[in-house]
Amino acid sequence: MLKKRVLVTGGAGFIGSHLCERLLKEGNEVICVDNFYTGTKENIKHLLSNPYFEILRHDITFPLYVEVDEIYNLACPASPVHYQFDPVQTVKTCVHGAINMLGLAKRLKVKILQASTSEVYGDPEVHPQSESYWGNVNPIGLRACYDEGKRCAETLFFAYHRQHNLKIKVARIFNTYGPRMHLNDGRVVSNFIVQALKGEDITVYGDGSQTRSFCYIEDLIDGIIKLMNSDDSITGPLNLGNPDEWTILELAEKVLKLTKSKSKIVFKPLPEDDPKQRRPDIEKAKKILNWQPKIDIDYGLKETIAYFKKILNL
């Protein structure tokens, strides 16, 4: 089989490292581009001995000239703590980064997939969220650098598609979890597991009645690859996520049970503009890609707990 040379931006991050691994396993050559802003070499060190894996330290807000057959654009900090740390850089990564990667795809005439997000729906007034919903985003709030950055990236993808006939794929990814999440990135699954394993208080923000729907990394990777390999007429945007919805308090209780931890649940202030509810409507992905998540939350959490136990030396 002829190998494809695939570019993965953000390849040293949580989702990117799993994607690089899967693409190599499927017989492709992979170029991983990352500036290590939130990603680490640790995430990809097991791939470094593979002659078909190549890593480039590069910030996608600057032009990039390489020759590839396909592009997955994942580079962008994803946790609220990380993307709010340097909001200007977050906007640049979303917008200038997208322009550069689209320019690259245009020159090479290759397919490009954008890792968009459920955050484009903001604090949704429609539940569950389907692709036809335009969202409810505060353009000047603390989350805007990410939410509006990602919305503008979608705009750019569709502008290049209409104006330059570029083959695009836009995935709206909902909360995803699993091994290689950053230990301190502040996201709820990693926070709760690390707190439970260390016997620290479990920090529930607000009263814990807000909801999220959690997709295990393996399921998400299946969906992303299926979307990339779908017919050229399919541009998305397509929701990719697990429709099982949980309150944050339920998640805290689940983590306590699975880790057999004696940690206490404590309540902290709710961050600004924190969405109250989130659940993907995945009917489109089911129909178009024949994809739906298979992994249940107990199995996924156990795998993630085992990962954090290992890296915490417990």
User: In terms of CB distance, is 86 or 274 closer to ligand UDP?
Assistant: 274
148 binds, among ligand UDP, ligand NAD, none (CB under 5 to 8 A by kind): none
Residue 56 or 288 having the CB closest to ligand UDP: 56
User: Contacting ligand UDP (CB under 6 A), which of 46, 63, 199, 286?
Assistant: 63
Q: Is 4 in the site for ligand UDP (CB under 6 A)?
A: no
Upper half-sphere CA count for residue 243 (Cβ side, 13 Å)? 14
Provide CB contacts within 8 A for 51, sequence distance 6+. Answer: none
- Is residue 129 close enough to count as binding ligand UDP by CB under 6 A? no
- Transcribe 237-272 into DSSP letters: -EEES---EEEHHHHHHHHHHHHT--PPEEEEPPPT
CB of 107 to ligand NAD, least distance (A): 19
Q: How many residues contact ligand UDP, by CB under 6 A?
A: 24
Closest distance of CB 145 from ligand NAD, Å: 12
* Torsion sign over Cα 29, 221, 118, 306: negative
Residue of minimal CB distance from ligand UDP?
Answer: 103
Which residue is listed with tokens 């909001």? 87
- Choose the one of ligand UDP, ligand NAD, none that binds residue 75, judging by a C-beta under 5 to 8 angstroms depending on kind: ligand NAD
Query: How many angstroms separate the Cα of 58 from the Cα of each of 91, 165, 260?
Result: 17, 27, 42
Residue (78 or 112) nearer to ligand NAD, CB? 78
Nearest distance in Å: CB 260, ligand NAD? 26
Among 26, 69, 274, 283, binds ligand UDP (CB under 6 A): 274
Closest approach, Cβ 87 to ligand NAD, in A, equals: 13
Secondary structure element (H or E) that encloses residue 226, with its range:
helix 217-228
The site for ligand NAD (CB under 6 A) is made up of: 9-10, 12-16, 33-39, 59-61, 74-78, 93, 97, 115, 117, 173, 175-176, 182
What stretch of H or E contains 169? strand 168-173
Stretch that binds ligand UDP, among 29-37, 85-93, 101-109, 256-264 (CB under 6 A): 101-109
d(CA 238, CA 19): 18
Quote the distance between the C-alpha of residue 179 and its chain's center: 13
Is there a contact between 136 and 77 (Cβ–Cβ < 8 Å)? no
Phi and psi for 59 in degrees, rounded to 5?
A: -100, 120
- Three-state DSSP at 178 gives coil
User: C-beta of 263: minimal distance to ligand UDP in Å?
Assistant: 12
Residues that bind ligand UDP (CB under 6 A): 63-65, 79-80, 99-100, 103-104, 106-107, 175, 186-188, 191, 203-205, 210, 212, 248, 271, 274
